[in-house]
Amino acid sequence: MALRQIRTLGDPVLEKKCREVKEMTPRLKELVDDMLETMYQAEGVGLAAPQVGVLRRIVVIDVGEGPIVMVNPQIVEQSGEQCGQEGCLSVPGQAGEVTRPNYVKAQALDVNMQPFEVEGTELLARAICHELDHLEGIMYVTKVNGDLYNVEDAPEEEEETETEAEKEEN
Ligand code: ZN
């Protein structure tokens, strides 16, 4: 396993459509392992193959419930709406408000090319939508309501700091 370099906004590879995986090869399995390692090292909740420069339909996601590897994923059902903060490892230090469905069901193949389904709400639904967009060459920055902001300026972080300070007092 090895860390791969994460491409950042402006790199044309991020705006290209990815090709379907027809056969799982040792090379693609290695890519999946490297993508997981790269995602965990960067403390992200998801990573798509084009973010490491490979135009294949593969994403990895972990919202804290274990790794999900999706090959040739497709959203087959979605409902509801959520609006919340979104970021991307290819847009370091920034975030923006994006509206997404609150529930998503997706079908994909696993690393052994066996079909499976994933259902998710909230963060998992958001992560699935975000990562699948990458496979179409769509960056979340094109879907932001309002402006991107620096993550350090986000109100949530200030609240967390206050809570930690309160804990220390007690
Ligand atoms: Zn992203």
State the total domains in the chain.
Answer: 1
- Summarize pLDDT for 32-78 with one digit per residue, the tens: 999 999 999 999 999 999 999 999 999 999 999 999 999 999 999 99
- CATH code, domain carrying 56: 3.90.45.10
Distance from the alpha carbon of residue 132 to the mean position of ligand 1, in angstroms: 9
Domain enclosing residue 60, as ranges: 12-154
pTM (2 decimals)?
0.88
Residue owning tokens 């919340």: 84
93 domain-assigned: yes
170 domain-assigned: no
Q: Is 8 helix (H, G, I), strand (E, B) or coil?
A: coil
Any catalytic annotation for residue 131?
Answer: yes
Supply the DSSP symbol for 56.
B
Distance from the alpha carbon of residue 116 to the mean position of ligand 1, in angstroms: 23
CA angle 127, 107, 8 (to 5 degrees): 35
Q: Secondary structure of the chain: what % helix, strand, coil (to 5)?
A: 35, 30, 35
